Amino acid sequence: MEKVDYKFWAKYLKRLSSLYVGNNSIVLEVAAGNCNLAKYLSDSFRFYVASDISISMLKKNKSQNLQKVCCDMTMLPFKNKFDLIICAFDSINYLTNRKSVTRFFLEINNILSEQGIFLFDAALERNSYKHQKHAVKKGKQKGVLFNRQSLYLHKSRIHKNIFEIIYPDGNKMKEIHRQKIYPLEFYFELLDKCGLYAVECFNAFTFRNCKSNDLRAQFVVKRKY
């Protein structure tokens, strides 16, 4: 499947966060998955918590020094405040309706410290059209066949990634990942309604202002009050 350069991604987020918070920060990463990003970021901060809805994904990381919490990103169980909250890899696009995104932003508002920042990135529509050009990918690794089909439904703005894996013994597994590709303006509107605001919105992996026809947006968010 597509390989994510976690080291590169972590370097960008570290540089971005250093403009607003220091190494003494308390950090929360939501939708952390198997903690590959946390592997490169956690040593740079005083306290780092990696959270994800999948306990099996969190268990793939064997580090004893990393704090891991299994929870839904729209129902965060934390009572303490965080100076830096990270949501990477367009995880926000997996919240496929306005109500879910609203709940998530309200949860962020509740646990973000007064001077803290919230970093999240979002895939935009051009990114979906880009993947449509290579809609089907097939391959084989260690005897395992895989097939990925990418399908963007323009009218509903739903992007589907359909994965089929065939093991050497003939067993098959199929997964369908659905993402909602929101317009760029949607995030600004909802942040404002949830007591947050975007300090910056960059074209991801750069420090150039994001445009609606970019592939991915990187938001830097603070509390309004």
Neighbouring residues of 84: CB distance < 8 A, sequence distance ≥ 6? 17, 21, 25, 26, 27, 28, 45, 116, 117, 118, 119
96 and 143, same domain (yes or no): no
Tell me: do 101 and 135 sit in the same domain: no
Number of domains within the chain? 2
62 inside domain:
yes
177, two tokens: 């990942």
- Which residues of the chain register pLDDT less than 70? 1-2, 134
Burial 42-59 (b: 16+ CB within 10 A, else e): beebeebbbbbbeeebbe
Identity of the amino acid at 167 = Y
- Which residue carries 């370097």 as its tokens? 11
In a domain, 169, yes or no: yes
Model pLDDT, residue 1: 42
Question: In whole angstroms, what is the distance from residue 80 CA to residue 12 CA?
Answer: 26
> Are 139 and 216 contained in the same domain?
no
Provide the CATH number for the domain around residue 144: 2.20.25
* Size of the chain in residues: 225
Assess whether 110 and 165 both reside in one domain. Answer: no
- Asked if residue 1 belongs to a domain, the reply is no
Give the number of C-alpha atoms closer than 13 A to the C-alpha of residue 200, restricted to the C-beta side: 16
- pLDDT at res. 142: 81
Give yes or no for a contact between 52 and 70, defined as CB atoms under 8 angstroms apart. Answer: yes
> For position 141, what pLDDT does the model report?
82
Same structural domain for residues 23 and 118? yes
Q: Are residues 98 and 117 in the same domain?
A: yes
> What is the Cα gyration radius of the chain?
18
Query: Same domain for 14 and 60?
Result: yes
On whether residue 214 sits in a domain, the answer given is: yes
The count of C-alpha atoms lying within 13 angstroms of the C-alpha of 224, restricted to the half-sphere facing its C-beta, is 12
Domain that holds residue 47: 6-124+181-223
User: Which residues pair with residue 165 across a beta bridge?
Assistant: 146, 173
Q: What is the CATH number of the domain that holds 199?
A: 3.40.50.150
- The predicted model scores a pTM of 0.93
**Residue whose structure tokens are 């965080």:** 82
Q: pLDDT value at position 136? A: 76
- The tens digit of pLDDT for each residue in 21-47 reads 999 999 999 999 999 999 999 999 999
What local confidence, expressed as pLDDT, does residue 8 receive?
97
